[in-house]
Amino acid sequence: MKFLLAVTLAAVYGLLIRLLFGSANGLLEIMSVTFLFLVPSLIGFLTVILMPARKITSGTAAFFTPWLTSSVLLVVTILLNMEGTICWLMAFPIFAVAAGAGGVLAYWLRKPKPKDLNANNWQRPNTLQVSLVFVVPLLLGAVEGEKALAPKQMVIERAVIINAPAADIWKKLISNKHLGQHTNKTSFSTLLGFPKHVSTTLDTLLVGGTRMAYYEKGLYFKETVTQYQPERLLVLRVDANPNATPAAVMDEHILIGGKHLDILEDVYDLRPLPGGRTRLALSSRFYINTPFNWYAGIWAHYLMTDILEGELNLIAEQAPTTL
């Protein structure tokens, strides 16, 4: 019972902090070092320090027990629509490890000393200590604010070789098409909840022309032609409108066109190959804007790579053979 009570109290603490950070956007940032590193460390600390001594008998147990609290928070915030599944899946590895580190710290600070034979001297936190645990992330979060955000541009490119001439591939790129009959294999991006591409329209093949890319769940992107060479090159500026993206489609913290993520430009490059084949490359230039781009960049790389490969596969499906 005391085990469950400790997990519950630590989870409630985490939920309260999440509510405070979510309601003070601009002052307290969820995409911050404070929230994604310090807060889970404190959750892990509370989980372990509130446990009876007999429940936490090793550093390993102290490290992994807070993962249960983290999992409870994951489930509750998803059920309450406070966080999206895709955002949690990206954040959970860091969140759980930080919580585990906090649990280990609590274990080593509070465990009985070797000279003490009575294990019941596991020290309990007093009211002042608990108050400090609650207040510290709010103070540090307010100090950090948006100061730690660091914009970083990235470029991802993927290519496919299609057994068809460049002229035929070019027609597919610039045509108005419905893609509902073309189903992608289960992919990383779809597993994370990113909508599938449904249709594409192009009003005119001129610089300044508008290409609309429509996805499931009401998601769409307006793309403007900035450069083209017939049967050779198509460059599109992507104008994402975060205000037009339905709330149920993408979590606010990874919203394309939002504060932390935006796609800037897509480039289709066609290169004729011997034997009537064509190398079709698709590159995307985008930016991420977090205090931990080293980590966010890993997820962005895998997500964007998967999306680009999906787009190329849709085009390749309409060609006779892909080599």
pLDDT at 209 over 80: yes
Asked whether residue 82 is domain-assigned, the answer is yes
What does the pLDDT read at residue 52?
A: 81
Q: Tell me: do 39 and 97 sit in the same domain.
A: yes
Q: Tell me: do 134 and 162 sit in the same domain.
A: no
Q: Tell me: do 216 and 307 sit in the same domain.
A: yes
Asked whether residue 323 is domain-assigned, the answer is no
Asked whether residue 258 is domain-assigned, the answer is yes
9-25 per-position pLDDT tens digit: 999 999 999 988 888 76
What does the pLDDT read at residue 323?
A: 46
Domain boundary among 144, 169, 202: 144
Average pLDDT over residues 210-235: 92
Q: Tell me: do 306 and 178 sit in the same domain.
A: yes
What is the band of 227 on the pLDDT scale with cuts at 50, 70, 90?
very high
Q: Tell me: do 162 and 100 sit in the same domain.
A: no
State residue 205 phi and psi, 5-degree precision: -90, 75
Residue with tokens 């205090």: 291
Q: Tell me: do 99 and 159 sit in the same domain.
A: no
Q: Tell me: do 123 and 229 sit in the same domain.
A: no
pLDDT at 118 over 60: no
Whole-angstrom CA distances from 258 to 27, 157, 243, 254, 287 are: 17, 22, 9, 7, 10
Bridge partners, residue 202, by sequence:
211
What is the band of 176 on the pLDDT scale with cuts at 50, 70, 90?
confident
Asked whether residue 61 is domain-assigned, the answer is yes
Asked whether residue 322 is domain-assigned, the answer is no
Q: Tell me: do 86 and 178 sit in the same domain.
A: no
Task: Count the domains in the chain.
Answer: 2
Asked whether residue 303 is domain-assigned, the answer is yes
Q: Tell me: do 41 and 110 sit in the same domain.
A: yes
Residue-averaged pLDDT of the chain: 85
Q: List the single range of 59-68, 104-113, 124-133, 259-268 with lowest mean pLDDT.
A: 124-133
What is the band of 103 on the pLDDT scale with cuts at 50, 70, 90?
very high
Domain boundary among 81, 115, 144: 144
Average pLDDT over residues 41-47: 93
Residues in the chain: 323
Domain boundary among 144, 160, 193: 144
Q: Tell me: do 109 and 206 sit in the same domain.
A: no
For residues 149 and 268, what is the distance between their CA atoms, to the nearest angstrom? Answer: 31
Q: Tell me: do 117 and 217 sit in the same domain.
A: no
CB 75 within 8 A of CB 38: no
Helical H segments across 161-208, by residue range: 166-174, 188-191
What does the pLDDT read at residue 161?
A: 95
For residues 303 and 297, what is the distance between their CA atoms, to the nearest angstrom? Answer: 10
pLDDT at 175 over 70: yes
pLDDT at 97 over 50: yes
Higher pLDDT, 179 or 55: 55
The domain containing residue 7 runs over which residues? Answer: 2-144
Q: List the single range of 67-76, 146-155, 175-184 with lowest mean pLDDT.
A: 175-184
Q: Tell me: do 122 and 35 sit in the same domain.
A: yes
| CATH number for position 204 | 3.30.530.20
For residues 32 and 205, what is the distance between their CA atoms, to the nearest angstrom? Answer: 43
Asked whether residue 213 is domain-assigned, the answer is yes
Asked whether residue 77 is domain-assigned, the answer is yes
Q: How many CB atoms lie within 10 A of CB 92?
A: 17
Residue with tokens 């307290």: 28
251-277 per-position pLDDT tens digit: 667 778 788 888 999 999 999 999 999
Question: Helices 39-49 and 59-79 meet at what angle, rounded to 10?
Answer: 120
pLDDT at 145 over 50: yes
What does the pLDDT read at residue 195?
A: 80
